[in-house]
Structure 1
Amino acid sequence: MAKEIPEAVRDVCLSFPEAEEYLSHGSPNFRVRGKTFASYLVNHHGDGKVALWLGSPPGAQEQRVRDEPGYFFIPPYVGPRGWLGVELDKGLSWKRIAALVREAYEKVAPASLAATIGKTIVIAAPKPKLAEDERDPLASPALQKLIQPLRDYCLSLPEAQEDPRFGAPSWQAGKRTFAFAYRYEQQLTFSFWVGVEQQGLYSGDTRFFIPPYMGHNGWIALKIGSKPNWKEIRGLAIHSYRHFALKRMLARLDAAG
Structure 2
Amino acid sequence: MDVPAGVLGRLRGICLGLPEAYEEVAWVGVRWRVRTRTFAHVLTVEGGRPAAFARAAGTEGPCTILTFRSEGPELDVLRRSGPPFFGPPWGPEVVGMVLGPNIDWNEVAELITESFCARAPMTLTRQVERPPG
With the shorter chain as reference, the TM-score category is 0.7 to 0.9
Greater RCO structure (CA 8 Å; 6+ sep): 2
The structure with the largest alpha-carbon Rg is: 1
State whether structure 2 residue 76 is matched by structure 1 residue 66: no
| 2:66 alignment partner, one of 42, 52, 61 | 52
Letter in 2 for 1:45: P
Per the alignment, do residues 76 and 50 of structure 1 end up closer, same or farther by CA in structure 2, a change over 3 Å counting? farther
Structure-to-structure mapping, 1:35-184, within 5 angstroms:
35-43=37-45, 44-45=49-50, 47=54, 48=61, 49-67=63-81, 69-78=82-91, 81-118=92-129
Partners of 2:69 and 2:130 lie apart in 1 by: 20
Tell me the alpha carbon deviations over residues 204-251 of structure 1, each in whole angstroms, 9 at most, x when there is no partner.
xxxxxxxxxxxxxxxxxxxxxxxxxxxxxxxxxxxxxxxxxxxxxxxx
Partner of 2:28: 26
Q: Kindly indicate whether the alpha-carbon contact (under 8 Å) linking 2:37 and 2:119 is maintained by their aligned counterparts in 1.
A: yes
Partners of 1:114 and 1:76 lie apart in 2 by: 27
Letter in 1 for 2:85: F
SS at match of 2:97: strand
Q: With structure 2 as the length reference, what TM-score do the two structures score?
A: 0.76
Tell me the alpha carbon deviations over residues 81-139 of structure 1, each in whole angstroms, 9 at most, x when there is no partner.
2200012115231001000000000001111211112367xxxxxxxxxxxxxxxxxxx
Alignment RMSD: 2.0
Unpaired stretches in structure 1, ≥5 consecutive residues: 121-257
Higher helix share: 1
Q: Kindly indicate whether the alpha-carbon contact (under 8 Å) linking 1:61 and 1:82 is maintained by their aligned counterparts in 2.
A: yes
Partner of 1:8: 10
Q: With structure 1 as the length reference, what TM-score do the two structures score?
A: 0.41
Q: How many residue pairs end up in the alignment?
A: 115
Unpaired stretches in structure 2, ≥5 consecutive residues: 55-60
Identity %: 27
Per the alignment, do residues 114 and 9 of structure 1 end up closer, same or farther by CA in structure 2, a change over 3 Å counting? same
SS at match of 1:70: coil
Tell me the alpha carbon deviations over residues 183-222 of structure 1, each in whole angstroms, 9 at most, x when there is no partner.
xxxxxxxxxxxxxxxxxxxxxxxxxxxxxxxxxxxxxxxx
Partners of 1:90 and 1:76 lie apart in 2 by: 25
Per the alignment, do residues 112 and 62 of structure 1 end up closer, same or farther by CA in structure 2, a change over 3 Å counting? same
Partners of 2:125 and 2:79 lie apart in 1 by: 26
SS at match of 2:17: coil
Per the alignment, do residues 75 and 90 of structure 1 end up closer, same or farther by CA in structure 2, a change over 3 Å counting? farther
